[in-house]
Structure 1
Amino acid sequence: MDLFIFDMQFNRIGIIDTYVDAEFVSKYHDHSQLILTVDASKTNADLLLTEDLRIITKSTDIHRGYVINVAEYRDEEQLEIIIIAKSLSVMTSWRIIEGQQRYTGNVEDVLKNFVKANAIQPFNASRIIPDLVLGLNEVININVDEAFSNKDLDVALWEMCAKYDISYEILMNHDAKKYVFSTFMGIDRSTEQSINSNVIFAKAFDNVIMQSYVDDKSNYRSTAYVAGEGEADNRTVIKVNDGISGFNRREIFIDARDLQSTYKDDNEEEITLTPLEYQTLLNERGQTRLSEYQRIRTFESDIDLYSQFIFNEHYFLGDKVTNRNDELGVVTHSRVMTAKEIYDREGYHLSLEFGTSIPTLLDKIKRGAK
């Protein structure tokens, strides 16, 4: 598989047909990533070691691009260039949600309204991300009411995605020369339904080489105390999931003072929420934060590439599939949360993570800082 190199104006400026290895890590609830190692030839250096932004795509999929974030030259046992590139969704990390903003309605429209207000048609024209447009909806019928204040745009978007079990990506439309912000939800291919053909992974089906299972409840929280505006006894505090009791109740305090009942929207118009509307916003904030403290229940599997199910043909990132481990007596029906594809001189290798995404150390640090 060759790799194509584009500039930000959609011009293809080079091809890499020989590399040490290329690791594509696709994620359902986070930016995907490419780690590429190539020989440090002059051609590769001219393509990759530049001040200008560069985009890398697979020759087999030129719509999904990876923006080079880090380029490192190494002179050790051999001369190499190491590239770390993030999926085009990383563009949303280049903007913040300016001031307090609130949108209600279909979840796809709400995500896109935050992007539109802060990166496509912001009040300040200098905040526009060039050539970024909104794609068509996938008809995900979920209605939401969400508000954020002075928050990284991508962090807010991924929080909503985790909460409503959806995802987003930015794709390259080469004909129109546009970057298209798109939302999607994986298809249910598990044995819990009979509409779509089933995808089942188990050693009994000879399609799993290695399988590990994690069930981690250490950071699980069930009930949130959400504190909004006001001081001392006059501070507005609501409880989310207050009906849970006993050993199943695990509490967390959430400071939501950034949400105010009176604020100026992105058009500088003053908005005043009713007490019920404000409490609804606080409840949504609590639900969003609780989604970050789920029980982690994950299968990680090395997939037999010659099995009956082929990734990106019979199932895709975000699809819900069935995993079985007969030795443990465990069956889960969960989404493909991470797909790690490695191309190297030995061939192609695929590893999948199903279920709740396992937080990295950086994820835990960020969560603790909120």
Structure 2
Amino acid sequence: MDLAKINVFDKEMNFLGKVDRYKSLIYVRKWQSYGNFEFHVPKPDPTLYADGNLIILDEDPERCGVIRYNEDDEYYAKEATIKGFSLLYLLSDRLTVPPAGEGYRVFNSTPVEDIIYALVKENAVDKRPIERLRLGESQHRGGSITFQTRYKVLSDEIESLCRQSGLGARITMNPDTQTFNFEVVEGIDRSYDNDLGDLGAEPYIFAKKFGNVRKRNYTHSSVGAKTTAYVAGQGEGENREI
């Protein structure tokens, strides 16, 4: 299998160079939050690996990220360690600011996807805009809920909403248009017994007999398990109902 090539861009999405010689590369993708990456190169380059520079693996806009860590170990390893996060990390620098004169940003019986897009628009486009960030359009998925937020980390609130609904979120990068594109996504059911309707598709089955699992490890742990709960109600001290 060919190694992925790391395309590097500056903060304005100007192409800086391509890295195809590295000792190791790990790119972790996450469905409901931002992922991370790490790669090791034998020769440090302060310009290429500067904080805030952007990467894309091969030409895949879904495998992109922003560099946030550069360690040049000249004495022991004689290599540079570069780390960063997928682009959804950009939303960790924004808070959910409520409207002027209101204590909370409140949504009543609103589709989860609508809430997510509204929060990103209000806090990363209308206020404290992230340059070049573009938003997709909501398809009103995820079920309707009541939700309120106040000065919470935007990426954390998105993750919480995604966990409730099963939706995912991501920011992709398009160097041709020099834009970041935020979108909410829905998963595809590839379980063994899906009915192939709606979002069902051919199942993915992993097993040694199919040659797509080399080894497996099963762990059972009861660490931290409890069997009794005390529930406290109204009142204080000895007058509190237990």
**TM-score tier after normalising by the smaller chain length:** 0.7 to 0.9
Q: TM-score, normalised by structure 1?
A: 0.54
The correspondence for 1:110, drawn from 108, 111, 115, is 115
| Matched ranges for 1:76-225 at <5 A | 76-99=75-98, 100-104=104-108, 105-122=110-127, 127-137=128-138, 140-195=141-196, 196-214=201-219
Unpaired runs of 5+ residues, structure 2, are 99-103, 236-242
Is 1:31 aligned with 2:68? Answer: no
Partner secondary structure for residue 187 of structure 2:
coil
Equivalent-residue separation in structure 1 for 2:225 and 2:177 (angstroms): 45
SS of residue in 1 equivalent to 2:151: strand
SS at match of 1:110: helix
Question: 2:224 and 2:176 mapped to 1: Cα distance?
Answer: 46
Task: Considering fraction of residues, name the structure with more strand.
Answer: 1
Shift, 1:61, TM fit = 0.9
Shift in CA distance, 188/214, structure 1 to aligned 2, threshold 3 Å: farther
The 3 A distance-change label for structure 1 pair 213 and 23 is same
Q: State the Cα distance separating 1:199 from its structure 2 match.
A: 1.2
1:214: how far off? 4.2
**Would you say the 8 A contact 1:107–1:140 is kept in 2?**
yes
Q: In structure 2, how many angstroms separate the alpha carbons of the residues matched to 1:169 and 1:208? A: 28
Cα distance, 1:139 vs structure 2: 5.8
Q: How well do the aligned residues superpose, as a CA RMSD in angstroms?
A: 2.6
SS at match of 2:191: coil
Cα distance change, pair 102–203 in 1 and its aligned pair in 2 (3 A): same
What TM-score, normalized to structure 2?
0.81
Question: Which residue is equivalent to 2:16?
Answer: 13
Counterpart residue identity of residue 91, structure 2: T
Aligned identity (percent) is 25
Question: Secondary structure at 1:103's aligned position in 2?
Answer: strand
Q: CA offsets per residue over residues 86-127 of structure 1, 9 Å max, x none? A: 0000011001112421224221111111111111112xxxx1
Q: Which residue of structure 2 aligns with residue 56 of structure 1?
A: 55
Could you give the per-residue CA deviations for residues 204-234 of structure 1, whole angstroms, max 9, x where no partner exists?
333211122345565689x9x8x9xxxx76x
Structure 1 position 141, deviation (Å): 4.7
Q: Which amino acid aligns with 1:131?
A: R
Residue 152 of structure 2 aligns to a residue whose secondary structure is: strand
2:105 corresponds to which letter in structure 1?
Answer: Q
AA aligned opposite 1:55 = L
Q: Which runs of 5+ in 1 are unaligned?
A: 234-370
- C-alpha displacement at 1:150, in angstroms? 1.6
Specify whether residues 155 and 215 from structure 1 end up closer, same or farther in structure 2 by C-alpha distance, changes over 3 A only.
farther
* Partner in structure 2 of residue 264 of structure 1: none
* Greater per-residue helix proportion: 1
Alignment size in residue pairs: 220
Instruction: Tell me the equivalent position of 2:66.
Output: 67
Q: 1:215 to 1:109 in 2, by over 3 A?
A: farther
Residue pair 1:138, 1:184 contacting (<8 A) in 2 also: no
Question: Quick one: distance in 2 between partners of 1:174 and 1:60?
Answer: 10
Indicate if the aligned counterparts of 1:5 and 1:57 stay in contact, CA closer than 8 A: yes
